[in-house]
């Protein structure tokens, strides 16, 4: 059977288990989108911009645990996706960005051909783990197989493939087999695991620090926790152990009571974590001296923190092998669990206190979310303070946030999560926490959300300004508050115009009833928190905390 290369690409994506893809249609990707529609197996979500499409695909991948797919046009359109690609590379999301290119005969000749982007491939390389150009119809499948393999091989990341439009439309025989090629998985060396086990078997107060790279290692982690290991996570590692588990500190990873607790631990095994600057007080957080590390990325050895031992391997394989070696050997201090709980409780208390009135909001949103949900967050004060630690996440796929700190991705991420949950029939709710400043960046995607009936609730923290910027200006710029006041839409009217449900809370006591009312609506819905009516947080947040108080906030 003769098919277009576009058709082959659509069939290959189905073979990769892709159930939803995100993008904007254009003459430079129509052979692919036409085939997706014709085949009818993948739900294509028409974003209003490629920036949104990239973040939708990223968030779908993170929450559904699949390959994300974003399809753009050449030139400006591919460029529009770059912000979302930067976030995906920061987060290590397996994402395939497919973009077009002009016809091969005119390519790279500077002929002022419409849609040509000079050196598009270099631009894509800069924001991708790797980028390729399809060179011929015959090699298209191989290029896509290699690209998907790269995206899914740990450390995972976004990849880009540009396909000239004449190649997309070329007719070829549909190959007999067009399965994806399995990702490379690195097994640990037995001697390395033996050494790690020797060190840990002697530990009385062992703690695991889990990052996003350990998301697939939940079962092995559970074995170690059953032996008495405690757990703390990065924001990316949240939920690998349910955050309600008594041995979990959740992502309370840098609060003073927790840092003091680290001082009592005699070993910390860091797994699949960058130990990011904003989660380690710019690498000054005091971690236990016996710092051991497992990472699929060999260049993580000694990065950010010196480590006593490093094992380069897949997290799940390494932790499973380690658990085999430690079975029946751990002699954990009987006080360890209670001390961990005390440190956690003290950290939670301090956080709650700093929130002032908004502590009540945390409980109301948690109650409405239930136990099976996705918790998507934009970069806003409420996320930097509580959203990155509360709600209590049930599992490793529940949390999605902008790891790189860029505002404005949250709305599109919620669309990606909600449509991904629907395509995979996960039955989970999606809740988005966003500031008003970040929310307005991609307002056009609200139209997409309504059209797609993406089922999520936005909790919009509306202070009609860039709150954190004002706090930083107060702390570091003599209170000179400039460029941070925002003209803000009337969201009740906007909701009417675009067609989604909206409620505004002027008192936090109203929140449970308003969320209850919204839960009866389909599609996107918004609970607007009128922060000007409710008042400020007790403690002002002025950027990620750093070690000595004199420079507090400078990392923002
Ligand atoms: C893409 C991007 N542009 C600019 C910034 C700088 N920035 C960080 S937070 C912020 C304000 C966010 O305002 P809002 O969403 O209203 O949340 P609030 O600070 O009021 O809680 C800005 C402009 C950023 N982080 N990312």
Sheet strands (E) in 48-196: 68-72, 95-101, 130-133, 158-164, 171-173
pLDDT at residue 555 in the model: 34
Flag whether pLDDT at 550 surpasses 60: no
pLDDT at residue 544 in the model: 87
Which of 437, 459, 530, 531 best tests ligand 1's pocket when mutated (most atoms within 8 Å of CB)? 437
305 C-alpha to ligand 1 centroid (Å): 29
**Three-class secondary structure of residue 368 per DSSP:** helix
> What percentage of the chain has pLDDT greater than the value 70?
99
Mean of pLDDT over the chain:
96
Helix H or strand E encompassing 23:
strand 20-23
Least Cα distance to 456 among 436, 428, 437, 435 occurs for 428
* pLDDT tens track for 331-388: 999 999 999 999 999 999 999 999 999 999 999 999 999 999 999 999 999 999 999 9
Tokens 């403690």, located at residue: 539
379 C-alpha to ligand 1 centroid (Å): 6
Structure tokens at 58: 């990223």
Whole-number Å distance between alpha carbons of 24 and 44 = 9
Give the pocket of ligand 1 (CB within 6 Å): 379-381, 405-408, 435-438, 461, 463, 465-469
CA 187 to chain centre: 26
Whole-number Å distance between alpha carbons of 69 and 303 = 31
Structure tokens at 141: 């499948």
Whole-number Å distance between alpha carbons of 437 and 442 = 10
554 C-alpha to ligand 1 centroid (Å): 15
Whole-number Å distance between alpha carbons of 90 and 405 = 10
CA 23 to chain centre: 19
526 C-alpha to ligand 1 centroid (Å): 20
pLDDT at residue 553 in the model: 38
Lateral strand order in the sheet of 291-295: 230-233, 206-210, 267-271, 291-295, 309-312
Least Cα distance to 337 among 217, 209, 245 occurs for 245
CB 57 within 8 A of CB 416: yes
Closest Cα to atom 25 of ligand 1: 406
Tokens 């993008």, located at residue: 23
Whole-number Å distance between alpha carbons of 158 and 281 = 28
Cis amide bond preceding 204, omega within 30: no
Residue 330: which residues within 8 A CB-CB, separation 6 or more?
Answer: 200, 201, 203, 206, 227, 228, 229
**Three-class secondary structure of residue 56 per DSSP:** helix
pLDDT-based confidence at 118, cuts 50/70/90?
confident
CB 71 within 8 A of CB 22: yes
Nearest atom of ligand 1 to the alpha carbon of 83: 1
161 C-alpha to ligand 1 centroid (Å): 31
Residue 193: which residues within 8 A CB-CB, separation 6 or more?
Answer: 311, 318, 321, 322, 325
Closest Cα to atom 20 of ligand 1: 467
Task: Give the range among 107-111, 220-224, 391-395 with minimum mean pLDDT.
Answer: 107-111
**Three-class secondary structure of residue 261 per DSSP:** helix
Cis amide bond preceding 391, omega within 30: yes
Flag whether pLDDT at 548 surpasses 80: no
Closest Cα to atom 10 of ligand 1: 466
* pLDDT tens track for 31-85: 999 999 999 999 999 999 999 999 999 999 999 999 999 999 999 999 999 999 9
541 C-alpha to ligand 1 centroid (Å): 13
Lateral strand order in the sheet of 130-133: 43-46, 20-23, 68-72, 95-101, 158-164, 130-133
Which of 407, 473, 529, 555 best tests ligand 1's pocket when mutated (most atoms within 8 Å of CB)? 407
* pLDDT tens track for 249-299: 999 999 999 999 999 999 999 999 999 999 999 999 999 999 999 999 999
Q: For the full predicted model, state whether its pTM sits above 0.95.
A: yes
- Average pLDDT of span 532-537: 97
Residue 119: phi and psi, rounded to 5, are: 55, 45
361 C-alpha to ligand 1 centroid (Å): 21
Whole-number Å distance between alpha carbons of 361 and 352 = 11
CB 205 within 8 A of CB 228: no
Least Cα distance to 314 among 94, 156, 150 occurs for 156
Whole-number Å distance between alpha carbons of 409 and 401 = 8
pLDDT at residue 549 in the model: 55
pLDDT-based confidence at 116, cuts 50/70/90?
confident
Structure tokens at 200: 């840990």
Residue 377: phi and psi, rounded to 5, are: -135, 140
Helix 140-152 / helix 5-15 crossing angle, nearest 10 deg: 30
Q: What is the DSSP string of 149-173?
A: HHHHSSSP-EEEEEEEHHHHH-EEE
Which of 388, 468, 491, 542 best tests ligand 1's pocket when mutated (most atoms within 8 Å of CB)? 468
- Average pLDDT of span 520-528: 97
Flag whether pLDDT at 556 surpasses 50: no
Least Cα distance to 283 among 313, 248, 307, 250 occurs for 307
- Please write down the HEC assignment for all residues of 368-435: HHCCCEEEEECCCHHHHHHHCCCCCCCCCCCEEECCCCCCCCHHHHHHHHHHHHHHCCCCCEEEEEEE
> What percentage of the chain has pLDDT greater than the value 90?
95
**Three-class secondary structure of residue 459 per DSSP:** strand
Closest Cα to atom 23 of ligand 1: 466
pLDDT-based confidence at 115, cuts 50/70/90?
confident
**Residue 302 φ/ψ region, left for φ over 0, alpha for ψ in the -120 to 50 degree band, beta for the rest:** left
- Average pLDDT of span 492-516: 98
């Amino acid at each position: 059977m003769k098919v277009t290369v576009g058709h082959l690409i659509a069939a290959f994506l189905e073979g990769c288990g892709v159930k939803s893809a995100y993008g904007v249609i254009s003459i430079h990707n129509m052979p692919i989108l036409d085939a997706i529609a014709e085949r009818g197996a993948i739900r294509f979500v028409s974003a209003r911009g490629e920036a949104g499409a990239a973040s939708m695909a990223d968030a779908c991948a993170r929450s559904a645990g699949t390959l994300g797919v974003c399809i753009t046009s050449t030139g400006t359109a591919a460029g529009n996706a770059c912000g979302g690609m930067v976030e995906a590379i920061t987060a290590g999301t397996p994402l395939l960005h497919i973009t077009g290119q002009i016809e091969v005969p005119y390519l790279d000749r500077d002929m002022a051909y419409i849609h040509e982007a000079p050196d598009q491939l270099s631009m894509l390389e800069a924001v991708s783990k790797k980028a390729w150009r399809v060179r011929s119809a015959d090699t298209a499948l191989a290029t896509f197989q290699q690209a998907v393999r790269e995206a899914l091989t740990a450390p995972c990341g976004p990849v880009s493939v540009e396909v000239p439009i004449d190649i997309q439309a070329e007719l070829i025989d549909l190959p007999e087999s067009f399965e994806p090629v399995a990702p490379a998985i690195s097994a640990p060396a037995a001697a390395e695991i033996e050494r790690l086990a020797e060190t840990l078997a002697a530990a009385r107060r062992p703690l695991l620090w889990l990052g996003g790279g350990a998301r697939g290692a939940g079962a092995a982690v559970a074995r170690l926790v059953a032996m008495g290991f405690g757990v703390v996570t990065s924001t990316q590692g949240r939920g690998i152990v349910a955050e309600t588990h008594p041995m979990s500190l959740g992502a309370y990873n840098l609060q003073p009571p927790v840092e003091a607790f680290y001082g009592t631990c005699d070993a910390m095994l860091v797994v699949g974590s960058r130990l990011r600057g904003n989660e380690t007080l710019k690498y000054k957080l005091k971690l236990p001296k016996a710092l051991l590390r497992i990472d699929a990325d060999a260049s993580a050895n000694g990065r950010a923190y010196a480590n006593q031992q490093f094992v380069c391997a897949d997290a799940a394989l390494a932790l499973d092998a380690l658990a085999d070696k430690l079975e029946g050997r751990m002699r954990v201090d009987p006080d360890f669990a209670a001390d961990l709980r005390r440190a956690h409780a003290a950290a939670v208390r301090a956080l709650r206190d700093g929130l002032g009135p908004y502590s009540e909001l945390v409980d109301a949103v948690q109650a409405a979310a239930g136990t099976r949900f996705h918790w998507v967050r934009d970069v806003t004060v409420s996320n930097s303070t509580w959203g990155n630690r509360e709600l209590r996440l049930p599992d490793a796929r529940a949390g999605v946030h902008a790891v790189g700190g860029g505002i404005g991705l949250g709305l599109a991420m919620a669309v990606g999560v909600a449509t991904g949950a629907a395509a995979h029939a996960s039955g989970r709710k999606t809740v988005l926490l966003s500031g008003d400043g970040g929310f307005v960046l991609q307002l056009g995607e609200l139209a997409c959300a309504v059209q797609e009936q993406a089922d999520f609730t936005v909790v919009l923290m509306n202070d009609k300004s860039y709150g954190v910027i004002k706090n930083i200006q107060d702390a570091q710029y003599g209170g000179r508050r400039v460029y941070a006041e925002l003209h803000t839409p009337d969201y009740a009217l906007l909701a009417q115009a675009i067609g989604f449900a909206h409620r505004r809370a002027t008192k936090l006591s109203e929140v449970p009833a308003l969320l209850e009312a919204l839960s009866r609506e389909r599609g996107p819905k918004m609970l607007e928190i009128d922060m000007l009516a409710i008042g400020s947080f007790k403690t002002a947040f002025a950027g990620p905390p750093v070690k000595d108080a004199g420079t507090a906030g400078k990392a923002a």
